[in-house]
């Protein structure tokens, strides 16, 4: 049973979301403030975190910052509808996805399950295929262990960043459309005005550093998608 920590000071909404998630087979725990939520998220007692941006005391962005200093636990942010600044900042700090508030329990559940699917090996290809290394030049990725190295050094990626980069690595040298990236890596269709992938790719670029600062390993093909270059 997947253990979800819901960090939100809106007790009525938390109760509604928690009840729905439990009916869908999740185990749910609650925290109503940022400091307590950060401590609970880092306790090792939970598998996923649902984190509201607007919290008393320590806000959700700062909570996420604390979590990412010590853990890669999947984090889904709850943001005010239309608040692009908090949304983009959360993704840049390592949030795996976001859902605008007010949100429906069904939408939240669907997003959580999409994150879970990204973390699990592909059962259709078997354990051997799931653990097979993806090698693109000096980039090496192990889907079974969800670890990666770049130029021989460990590459620290969030679960969403790993899924996106793995899809680009499988198609290294070819352009991958944003719709295909969203469906294959995020587990859901791309929605209109969705900048989720763009922000994650920007973060990956900063981690996939090329010795030549004038070069980037991931090209943007405007209006189409992204291409991972091979670097031998």
pLDDT digits (tens, 9 = 90+) for 136-153: 999 999 998 889 999 999
Q: Is the pLDDT reported for residue 124 higher than 90? A: no
Same domain flag for 62 and 143: no
**Verdict on whether the full-model pTM lies above 0.85:** no
Please check whether residues 16 and 108 belong to one and the same domain: yes
pLDDT, one tens digit per residue, over 190-216 is 877 778 889 899 999 999 988 787 788
What range defines the domain where residue 78 resides?
A: 3-119
Mean pLDDT over residues 28-52, rounded? Answer: 96
**Angle formed by the axes of helices 105-119 and 11-23, nearest 10°:** 60
10: domain CATH number is: 3.40.50.2300
What separation, in Å, do the N-terminal and C-terminal C-alpha atoms of the chain show? 43
The CATH number for 141's domain is: 1.10.10.10
Strand 175-177's sheet: what is its strand order?
175-177, 225-228, 218-221
More confident residue, 210 or 51: 51
Dist CA 48 CA 42 (whole Å) = 11
Domain termination site, one of 119, 143, 165: 119
For 49-71, b/e burial (b = at least 16 CB within 10 A) is: bbbbbbbeebbbbebbbbbbeee
Burial (CB < 10 A; 0-12, 13-18, 19+), residue 232, is exposed
Count of domains forming the chain: 2
Phi-psi region of 120 (alpha: psi -120 to 50; beta: other; left: phi over 0): beta
Q: What is the pLDDT of residue 128?
A: 41
Are 136 and 222 members of one domain?
Answer: yes
**Residue 83 or 199, more confident:** 199
Specify whether the CB–CB gap between 141 and 132 falls below 8 A: no
Provide the pLDDT for residue 211: 78
Q: Are residues 11 and 110 in the same domain?
A: yes
In this structure, are 152 and 53 located in the same domain?
Answer: no
């Amino acid at each position: 049973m997947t253990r979800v920590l819901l960090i939100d000071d809106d007790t009525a909404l938390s109760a509604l979301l928690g009840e729905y998630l439990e009916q869908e087979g999740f185990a749910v725990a609650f925290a109503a403030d940022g400091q307590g939520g950060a401590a609970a998220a880092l306790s090792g007692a939970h598998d996923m975190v649902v984190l509201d941006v607007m919290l008393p005391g320590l806000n959700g962005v700062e909570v996420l910052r604390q979590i990412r200093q010590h853990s890669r636990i999947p984090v889904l942010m709850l943001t005010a509808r239309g608040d692009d600044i908090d949304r983009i900042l959360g993704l840049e700090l390592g949030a795996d996805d976001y859902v605008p508030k007010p949100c429906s329990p069904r939408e939240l559940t669907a997003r959580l399950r999409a994150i879970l699917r990204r973390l699990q090996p592909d059962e259709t290809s078997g354990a051997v295929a799931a653990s097979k290394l993806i090698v693109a030049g000096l980039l090496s990725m192990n889907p079974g262990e969800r670890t990666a190295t770049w130029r021989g050094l460990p590459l620290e990626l969030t679960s969403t960043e790993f899924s996106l980069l793995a899809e680009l690595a499988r198609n290294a040298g070819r352009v991958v459309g944003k719709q295909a990236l969203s469906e294959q890596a995020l587990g859901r269709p791309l929605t209109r005005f969705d900048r989720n992938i763009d922000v994650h790719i920007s973060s990956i670029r900063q981690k996939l550093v090329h010795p030549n600062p004038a070069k980037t390993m991931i090209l943007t093909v405007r209006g189409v998608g992204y291409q991972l270059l091979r670097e031998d």
